């Protein structure tokens, strides 16, 4: 069975700054791939390439072995890719249920005009999407908040709503962008169990700073530093890799090029 998503020789530059350099990465069926690295290593840019928000200067992105010449977010969503955002990305002025329904939109079959007028198939689609959205919220234990508005909810609940919106699309590959941020220890334990439980129906690509979570849920880990892949392997292999230890301790790793003048905790914004 071919890998779901493959990046080969991907290079991305912003002006004179190279965010990713010759990056190769693959996500296989039913696995959890972790992507880690110091601040500014290129993790967010890598995610943006994977879901079509950024087009690489060089290299290619493939889905199940088929090269995608011009990757667009809508194309990848249609193939079965969903993503949670680091900043949640919920709409404050619509209900929790309606937020989740947005994620299920790819399952709607009615045209835009019919949906706008609420006619025929569009009306049936809306009922089906509501049921699908409620089921996703129930699976995550937050159906009771369906008619509330996101700003009125505790942060951990909003995180679950954002995850429900991604899961309701029934993706084949789910990209999780720092899902553990702002969560308590108990919430982290529940998140770890949830992520592991997803692999019977999808693959997961995870960017995360909580190393305990990464090490406990990932089958493989890819490590970035200064836009390059410096390690790829099982959690045990990555944990003992000298290049990874050097990157996190702030030492210069020969394979990654010159050190940033801001040191290991650099955060140059768009290339995080």
| pLDDT string in tens for the chain (272-residue length) | 788 999 999 999 998 899 999 999 999 999 999 999 988 899 999 998 988 888 899 999 998 888 877 667 777 777 888 888 776 778 899 899 988 988 776 554 444 334 444 555 556 777 888 888 999 999 888 999 999 999 999 988 998 999 999 898 889 999 998 888 888 888 888 889 989 999 999 999 999 988 889 999 999 999 999 999 999 999 999 988 999 988 876 544 333 343 333 333 443 333 34
pLDDT of residue 130: 86
pLDDT of residue 80: 86
**Integer Cα distance of 97 and 131 in angstroms:** 10
Q: What is the Cα gyration radius of the chain?
A: 19
pLDDT of residue 77: 72
pLDDT of residue 246: 86
Would you say how long the chain is, in residues? 272
- Domain 5-80+171-256 CATH assignment equals 1.10.10.10: no
pLDDT of residue 83: 84
φ, ψ for residue 5, nearest 5 deg: -125, 135
């Amino acid at each position: 069975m071919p890998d779901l998503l493959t990046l080969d020789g991907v290079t991305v530059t912003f002006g004179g700054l190279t965010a990713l350099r010759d990056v190769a990465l693959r996500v296989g069926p039913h696995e959890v791939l972790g992507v880690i690295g110091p601040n500014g290593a290129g993790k967010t840019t890598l995610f943006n390439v994977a879901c079509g928000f950024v087009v690489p200067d060089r290299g290619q992105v493939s889905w199940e072995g088929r090269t995608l010449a011009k990757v667009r977010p809508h194309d990848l969503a249609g193939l079965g890719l969903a993503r949670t955002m680091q900043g949640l990305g919920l709409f404050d002025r619509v209900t929790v249920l309606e937020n989740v329904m947005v994620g299920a939109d790819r399952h709607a079959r009615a045209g835009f005009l019919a949906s706008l007028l609420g006619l025929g198939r569009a009306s049936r689609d809306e009922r089906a999407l509501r049921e699908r959205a409620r089921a996703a919220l129930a699976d995550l234990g937050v159906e009771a908040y369906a008619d509330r508005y996101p700003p009125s909810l505790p942060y951990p609940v909003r995180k679950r709503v954002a995850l429900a919106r991604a899961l309701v699309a029934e993706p084949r590959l789910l990209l999780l962008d720092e899902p553990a941020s702002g969560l308590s220890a108990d919430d982290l334990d529940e998140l770890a169990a949830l992520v592991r439980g997803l692999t019977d129906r999808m693959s997961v690509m995870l960017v995360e700073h909580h190393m305990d979570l990464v090490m406990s849920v990932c089958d493989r880990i890819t490590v970035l530093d200064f836009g390059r892949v410096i390690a790829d392997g099982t959690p045990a292999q990555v944990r003992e890799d000298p290049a990874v230890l050097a990157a996190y301790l702030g030492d210069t790793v020969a394979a990654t090029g010159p050190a940033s003048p801001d040191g290991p905790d650099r955060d140059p914004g768009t290339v995080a």
